[in-house]
Amino acid sequence: MMELFETALEQEEDDFTFLLHRYSEVHERLLLSIDTFKKEEQSESENENEKKNIIEPMYLNELLEQIVEKAKNRKALACKELSVELQKYEWSKEYKDMLDNVVLSLKRYQFKEAIIAIEEIQCIRY
């Protein structure tokens, strides 16, 4: 914005109405962007505050098997989708640390570590 004013001063323009109108437009867009950002942030925080359902053991096992299959083939996008699905649920305290490790490993594209953590979970469960 300052560039517009500096340019006008350099060109010795006496009429600043155009610049003020332009400033007003930019200001309005900025305020709309901020409002949009605030709404998105509020909706994300509301989603996080919602109570998550505890994942059923059979569904957990199914998800973990799918993650292992995709991780062995290094399918990053599929692993991410499965990881997001896994994070929608609350985990039992018994597996929480290990499942956090799985999710973190997948985010870092450390597929071998994720597979090892899943195998540890499966050994404990069976």
Tens digits of per-residue pLDDT, 92-114?
Answer: 888 888 899 999 999 999 999 99
pLDDT tens profile 50-69:
677 888 889 989 999 999 99
Query: pTM higher than 0.85 for the full model?
Result: no
Each domain of the chain, given as residue ranges in start order, spans 2-49, 57-125
Nearest CA among 103, 109, 108 for reference residue 84: 103
**Local confidence band at 22 (pLDDT 50, 70, 90 cut-offs):** confident
Measure the CA–CA gap between 47 and 43, rounded to whole angstroms.
6
Predicted local distance difference test score (pLDDT) of residue 44: 65
